[in-house]
Amino acid sequence: MGKEIENGGKRGELDYPNPKFIPVPNSYSKNRMAEAEELPRSIVRRVVKDKLSRCSEEGEISVSKDGLLAFSESGRIFIHYLSATANDICKESKRQIVSAEDVFKALEETEFSEFVRPLKASLEEFRKKNVEKKAAVSRGKEDEQRKKRKLEAESSDKGEASINDESPDRAEGSDKGEGEEDDE
């Protein structure tokens, strides 16, 4: 492959050893890359219809295929723009992991500060639900462990009882030496 060079004051141009051969991705990989960047249509449709039905007094509103595509593409572009801005904020702080705070700052920097408060509320609600789910899962695991220990204890108690029931003479005879008789 080529390497980045400074060429006539232009950065970022690629210099390939054979200028007649410039690798171009095949149409299959182009299509797969485009599909990977698209937002799921069913989710976009659900979000758009839900929001439009809340805003409209007439009930359900139909959205054309082109309209859904426009919403999807707008959302994708917004996500790219916001993520690039949040990434820049993260790098300025000399970190490599983008945090929620970076996203909030990016919203403010891109003049979408009206989204910060509802997003923070939504994030807090999401975190609370996750804490509750984790607590429920851990309670369930604790219950399972208690049940398992109880079953093991019961089965070991039954096992000891059956050993004692099978050989009561052995248990008594084990205290006595061989050939000794009871003097009673």
Domain boundaries, the chain: 137-171
Q: How far apart are CA 94 and CA 146, in angstroms?
A: 47
pLDDT tens, position by position, 124-154? 999 999 888 888 888 888 878 888 888 888 8
Q: What is the distance between the terminal CA atoms of the chain, rounded to a whole angstrom? A: 102
User: Is the distance from CB of 51 to CB of 63 less than 8 angstroms?
Assistant: no
pLDDT tens, position by position, 71-127? 999 999 999 999 999 999 999 999 999 999 999 999 999 999 999 999 999 999 999
Query: Can you give the pLDDT at residue 31?
Result: 54
Q: What is the pTM of this model?
A: 0.52
7 pLDDT above the threshold of 70:
no
48 pLDDT above the threshold of 50:
yes
How far is CA 37 from each of CA 33, 77, 110, rounded to the nearest angstrom?
A: 6, 10, 22
Query: Can you give the pLDDT at residue 5?
Result: 40
